[in-house]
Structure 1
């Protein structure tokens, strides 16, 4: 029967969303109740950040497991220092305040995926001589400060493509596309404008989609996970005509942030605008998009004026 009951961690919230970033100090309380007098060898608090990947795939007829790990930091402090005889604590409720600083540096945000995760964990541990230690853990919601650089560089994003259709539908197709900003947050609506010049004998339809590409890496292998989050279809662009088409894409509320600064996991987003042409390779404009927290937003852009 454990002599240590109600072992808890509580944090003092520093940000509205309860998140932490590089250089922040985690302030809180370790509390527990002793059912009798206990001699404690040490009471420690520890915070660490790790990225891990793991997946199984067939190589040469054999199933192989690929793994990788990256540690970003580990900090530790003693609330009760180690002594040979231990520190006696009386029966009852005990509370210990702590302050633990997260190191500075370029660290990725928290992430959980099918084949990998980036986790930041806070742990308190009570050690006693000749007894198994008692511990309590709590995940930290970590948001990287490196997102600030994207907000500062936010601007409209444009691209263009042209293609000869060839075959029985000789002619040329040109398309330019613009998104009103290259950085947005979950739940926001993105404005996409495409200008199409169809100088061919075929009808075609513009299509818009938001793709998420997650890449997991080990030392010698990578694994991609591609997901289409949104897809919209525009009206028909008739042969030998020009038309400007706009589309409003609402970013899902539960979409995860971009992961751009982790060596073994990346999460990237793309707006793809393409023309659906029968029996031909579809011309496509690919526009990179960063999905970031609004916490570090410097400003909000205006509406796009078009490509």
Structure 2
């Protein structure tokens, strides 16, 4: 009967467990070993890896390596045999220190999505005679430095949209809009100030809105998966037929999100600001302004001075509790870009969280549920008896 020597503790510990590392920085730590009985250890090895992985089926999987570091660790002032092995005794803690530098080039930020991830970890191996290697693993976080203060990301971004409307194939005026943001690069917690103009000459009442959208693109074996998500939104006032509206100082705050991942060949994380107009009975008119979410910025964006001023800028007509208005489904060419095939179109994505019907012209009488009559007593004056 073979009795295996027990290892009481074997784990990886980082010098700064909460630190988020950037390219070029040094990752340090130690491997801790404690045994329950006298044990001969031939080697303690470490392997550090950083891998981007995409997977959604057996035939669609791909990996990209950012980091690979291997080393055999030695303890300081610890006597070793001629073959490099050591004798460990119970009651003692043994520490093997390790350290390595992350590559200077662009690294993918730590990320976990629906069909892929970017992960970094250190795995330790404990080698003993006549035993399979024992393993211990621990992940650490890496954030690729994306500086949004570059000239390209500090330049304004703008766009225009114009669409002729029809009602039962009869011309029904047009809707036009133009929007601009003062720069393309932002960081978490900053406010995006939107300047926009809207014109409505059709017979319907429309509502301008804006939303921050995330787009995760996964590529493997020549195929593409795209996952989009609406993160936050703001809305403006209703615009009736023949009227215009303008946004000056309308803002939307960047939520807590991961920085953009743009340098990876198999996985991309992109963001955009969609300024759009909801039109009852028709497709939304959408203007896409690309964003880059960074990890560092020397300047601070202007913020709303008080809650009252923010509330006043968000004032709109009273939202009625009325059912959603049917909307014509978007055409295939409108929702599928030339370079990607979306898993879900953008317009239904915006519909999901828009809430109640946008136009007060569609109203209905709510269904009232009457309470049952109270318990009462009838008195027969002739017989002086009570009937419940």
Q: Partner residue of 2:86?
A: 88
In the superposition, relative to structure 1, how do residues 272 and 131 fare at CA in structure 2: closer, same or farther (>3 Å)?
same
Match of 2:70 among 76, 83, 105: 76
Q: TM-score, normalised by structure 1?
A: 0.84
* Whole-angstrom distance in 2 between the partners of 1:218 and 1:125: 31
Deviates more, 1:73-82 or 1:219-228: 73-82
- Deviation of 1:303 after TM superposition, in Å, equals 6.8
**CA distance in 1: counterparts of 2:5 and 2:159, whole angstroms:** 65
Moved more, 32-41 or 104-113: 32-41
- Residue of structure 2 equivalent to 1:137: 137
5+ residue gaps, structure 2, are 305-388
Pair 1:12 & 2:6 matched: no
Aligned match of 2:266 in 246, 264, 267? 264
2-side partners of 1:291 and 1:2: how far apart? 52
For residues 76-122 of structure 1, give each alpha carbon's deviation from its aligned partner in whole angstroms, at most 9, with x where no partner exists. 12213998844123312111222211222222111111211111111
Kindly state the Cα deviation for residue 182 of structure 1 after the two structures are TM-superposed: 2.4
Post-superposition CA distance 1:194-226 (Å, at most 9, x none): 211334444321122221111111112111112
In the alignment, the residues of structure 2 paired with residue 238 and residue 169 of structure 1 have an alpha-carbon distance, to the nearest angstrom, of 17
Q: How much does 1:302 deviate?
A: 4.3
How many residues are aligned here? 290
Matched with 2:359 is: none
In the alignment, the residues of structure 1 paired with residue 206 and residue 99 of structure 2 have an alpha-carbon distance, to the nearest angstrom, of 62
Higher Rg of the two aligned structures: 2
**Does structure 1 residue 297 correspond to structure 2 residue 264?**
no
Check if 1:126 corresponds to 2:120: no
**Paired residue for 1:231?**
233
**Greater strand percent: which structure?**
1
CA contact (8 A) 2:187 2:297 kept: no
- Give structure 1 stretches of 5+ with no counterpart: 57-63
Whole-angstrom CA distance in 1 between matches of 2:190 and 2:81? 55
C-alpha displacement of 1:49: 0.8
Q: Distance in 1 between matches of 2:88 and 2:140?
A: 31
Relative contact order, higher structure (CA 8 A, sep 6+): 1
CA distance in 2, matches of 1:33, 1:285: 61
TM-score (norm 2): 0.67
SS of the residue aligned with 2:275? strand
CA distance in 2, matches of 1:35, 1:48: 30
Q: How does 1:1-307 map to 2 (within 5 A)?
A: 2-13=5-16, 18-56=19-57, 65-80=59-74, 85-91=83-89, 92-145=92-145, 147-148=146-147, 150-152=148-150, 153-166=153-166, 168-245=170-247, 247-253=250-256, 255-293=257-295, 296-302=296-302
